[in-house]
Chains A and B, each alone.
Chain A
Amino acid sequence: MSVLELASFPAELLRVDVSAIDALAGAEDALGGVTVDVVEPGEPVRITHILDAVEPRLRVGGGRTNRIDGVAVLSCVDFPGEERPLHEQEAFVDLAGPGAAFTPFSSLTNVVLTFVPGADARHVELDRSVRRVTLAVAELLAEPTHDAEPRDVERFELGPAADALPAVAALVQLSDLGQLYTVYVDSVPAGEAGLPRAVEPAALLDTAVTCGEYHWAALRNPTLFLQRSSLVRALFQEHGKRLRFAGLVLMRGYEQTAEDKQGAAERAAGLAVELGAGGAIITTDGGGNSHTDTMLTCRACERVGVRTAVIVAEMADPDSTNPGLTDWVPEADCIVSSGNAEELVPAWRPERVLGGDALLDGTSAQEAGPIPVRNYLGATNQTGHLTLRATTW
């Protein structure tokens, strides 16, 4: 198993070269340009039409990757109306006000890239260009780390662990419902990446998986949430102490037929067994029938003796006592709540709006509210990255 070293550099190293970013965007036919804004933590800004958030990263060889701490690159684009994707939902963050607590961006310096679609750009090409430029900008911003001293270096290595410790695997679900609704594994859509598959345990932390999914704002994992994965980092932390980190399996969410769903669930469970896991933490991505993939995977694991904890977001009507689980199996007796996406965040008026002045439903981004948690980027992500949860009242 290879070792990953993450070297962290302070945000002071950030140098935003707008002309270099312009040049990257200029090289893309599908783009008509880009506006760059740098927003400091806590500024009263609302950012809309967000596609992804990426941390500045640079691989320098020898298993080391440099990262700039405290910075996020956000990509925003308002897809041209005529071909608006079916499942697209508004995705934004508030850097102040009552919505600020729902995402981590309010404590980061955000480099916001607002892309202008090129004339006649089709959504698929536009998306591809936006992703390419955003990832390139994230790398560009990390270049100054080449000649600087890291503040600290973390080694992600799985050394020996006592046999008596319980072995726990992470089974991480990645969406694929076609382009614009897919997550990429080494640049390949999840559905074409041979999943479920065991990968290097630190793979997520090194930007092996990037987000190209634009529905379910709160329930998806922006790239940054995977780069900084609380789950993988915690499992490495606990390795040798309270558990043995048996490994990481990536699985696809939204398998398309009942047979595929069942088969994939069983194969994922089989991989957990091969890794020697006695327990597995199963994550979810997106909403709707990906929750069925989660529950079938839970059942398949339990049936082969791998005990499970499952992480899902809830869609509970705040005024009703109906449970908000999208799907459930009785084997799912250990569920972690990543929050109720249907709860409303009180209205707040930002001083500035980036990304686009009108929300997808036409309302003014400045006047909108109260807004469901559902629309805040990654707020109820189902890899357990944040601290939001729901309890019963």
Chain B
Amino acid sequence: MVRAVHYLNQFFAGLGGEEAASTPPTRIEGAVGPGRGLAAALEGVEIVATVACGDDFFAEHEEEALAEILQLVEAEGPELIVAGPAFGSGRYGYACARVVASAGVPGLAAMHEENPGRGAAGAALVVPTGSSVAGMRDALPRMARLASALAAGRELGSPDEDGYLPRGFRRNHLAERTGAERAIELLLAKLAGTTRTEVDAGFDRVEPPAPVTLAAATLALVTEAGCVPQGNPDRLPSIRAAGWLRYELGGETSLATGRYESVHGGFDVTLGNEDPNRLVPLDTVRELEGEGRVGRLHEAFYTTTGNGTPVAASTRFGQEIAEDLRARGVEAVLLSGT
């Protein structure tokens, strides 16, 4: 029997709801909650323990929580790790993804394909599920099937064959038709209104928004140059930033030397630190606001470090910042890149 550990959040582990979301990592004997249904469907695999962690605890102490979880996992001597299903829950999905990506043994997480945490799984397998717990009865057998295959050491088939979400590895095979025939097929479909592609560049496309009349608009400053208040009070990383920060400007008219700095680890910040306005042109935009060229400068600026950040993460930052800006009525953005 292959030894497996199951990772769950506080709710599915039976430790409580939102009020238990700050529960630190904890070990429970055998399978609990959905783990029981999972165990019943597994072949050649035994869930020897469950490791649970509160979603808030993981989100607020990510590296510490992950380290503790992995320690608890390792202590069971497992050959397999299973996490979730997290369905549509973003914090839970992210934690599941990080656990299976870092566990050092084969494993899988399960969550809805649009779960924002999915990208953190990297090369690890993710079984797609419905978006809510109503999908539990459907999810467990499919998780069990893939987990059993992993335990048996069987070579994996394609995502469609073996029921997991594509991770991004490109693999060759001989198609039924030539590339030429497929090009004709795809082009005719596109001309008839359905556009499909065999290769995804990984970057989406948006139409350019209509021009704005700036004198009547609110403009915000956003940067990946890693600008932060001097001393980096919120510890924005120099590399592999895990998120973004929003800093109120308090009406300031300049990013003054010595009050702001850049912590970006991907370029020489000497010139930027001599005058941070060189990275985020607050002084200039403030002037233009005063002259009426810009209606209003948004009261905060947004910052992250664009250095070694996985594409999936920075895509998420962009979506989150955009949502925040829209919610606050910002109509235009000046983004600086380094």
Contacts and interface: CB of A to CB of B under 8 A. Distances in A.
The answer to whether A and B touch in the complex, with CB atoms under 8 Å apart, is yes
Interface of A: 101, 166, 168, 229-231, 233-235, 238, 242-243, 278-281, 307-309, 311-312, 314, 316, 318-325, 328, 330, 332-340, 343, 373, 382-393
Nearest to B157: A393
Contacts of A230: 178-181
B270 interface: no
A233 B177 CA distance: 13
Interface stretch (B109-117, B194-202, B275-283, B314-322): B194-202
A382 B199 CA distance: 14
B168 A307 contact: no
* Most B C-beta atoms less than 10 A away, residue of A168, A229, A314, A392: A392
A308 B197 CA distance: 11
B183 interface: yes
Interface string B167-180: 11111111111111
A392 B178 contact: no
B178 A330 contact: no
Contacts of B187: 168, 279-281, 307-309, 334
Nearest to B181: A234
Given A234-B180, A330-B205, A392-B159, A387 B198 contact: no
24 contacts: A168-B184, A168-B188, A229-B180, A230-B178, A234-B178, A238-B184, A243-B184, A243-B188, A279-B187, A281-B180, A281-B187, A334-B186, A334-B190, A335-B198, A336-B186, A385-B178, A389-B179, A389-B182, A390-B199, A391-B171, A392-B200, A393-B156, A393-B166, A393-B170
A388 B172 contact: yes
A235 B197 CA distance: 20
B171 to A, nearest CB: 5
Interface of B: 122-123, 156, 158-159, 166-184, 186-188, 190-191, 195-203, 205
B121 to A, nearest CB: 10
Contacts of B197: 332-335
Contacts of A231: 180, 183
Given A321-B168, A321-B169, A386 B201 contact: no
Given A383-B179, A384-B179, 13 more contacts: A230-B178, A231-B180, A233-B180, A234-B178, A242-B184, A243-B188, A323-B199, A323-B201, A333-B197, A335-B198, A387-B177, A387-B179, A389-B198
A330 B123 CA distance: 26
A391 B171 CA distance: 6
Contacts of B198: 335-337, 389-391
A339 B167 CA distance: 17
Contacts of B199: 312, 314, 323, 325, 335-337, 390
Nearest to B165: A392
A175 B196 CA distance: 28
Contacts of B188: 166, 168, 242-243, 279
B125 to A, nearest CB: 10
Nearest to B156: A393
A373 B172 contact: yes
Contacts of B200: 323, 392
Contact of A334 (B174, B178, B196): B196
A384 B170 contact: no
Given A309-B187, A328-B203, A384 B178 contact: yes
Closest 6 CB pairs of A and B: A321-B168, A384-B179, A384-B180, A330-B205, A231-B180, A309-B187
Contacts of B175: 387-389
Contacts of A238: 184
Contacts of A333: 190, 195, 197, 205
A337 B173 contact: no
A328 B201 contact: yes
B279 to A, nearest CB: 27
B308 to A, nearest CB: 13
A391 B175 CA distance: 10
Nearest to B205: A330
Contacts of B172: 339-340, 343, 373, 388-390
Given A243-B188, A384-B178, A309 B183 contact: yes
Contacts of B166: 392-393
A391 B158 contact: yes
B178 A332 contact: no
Contacts of B184: 168, 234-235, 238, 242-243, 281, 309
A393 B180 contact: no
B1 to A, nearest CB: 28
A385 B179 contact: yes
B180 A383 contact: yes
Contacts of A323: 168, 170, 199-202
A311 B190 contact: no
A364 to B, nearest CB: 26
A252 B205 CA distance: 28
Contacts of A391: 158, 170-171, 173, 198
Contacts of A322: 168
A343 to B, nearest CB: 5
A318 B201 contact: no
A333 to B, nearest CB: 5
Contacts of A337: 170, 179, 198-199
* Most A C-beta atoms less than 10 A away, residue of B159, B175, B184, B199: B199
A336 B203 contact: no
A142 to B, nearest CB: 25
Contact of A309 (B168, B178, B190): B190
A101 B173 CA distance: 10
A332 B184 CA distance: 15
Given A308-B187, A334-B186, A318 B169 contact: yes
Contacts of A325: 199, 201
A392 B170 contact: yes
* Most B C-beta atoms less than 10 A away, residue of A309, A311, A319: A309
Contacts of A318: 169-171
A386 B180 CA distance: 8
A318 B123 CA distance: 12
Contacts of A340: 170-172
B187 to A, nearest CB: 4
Contacts of A328: 201, 203
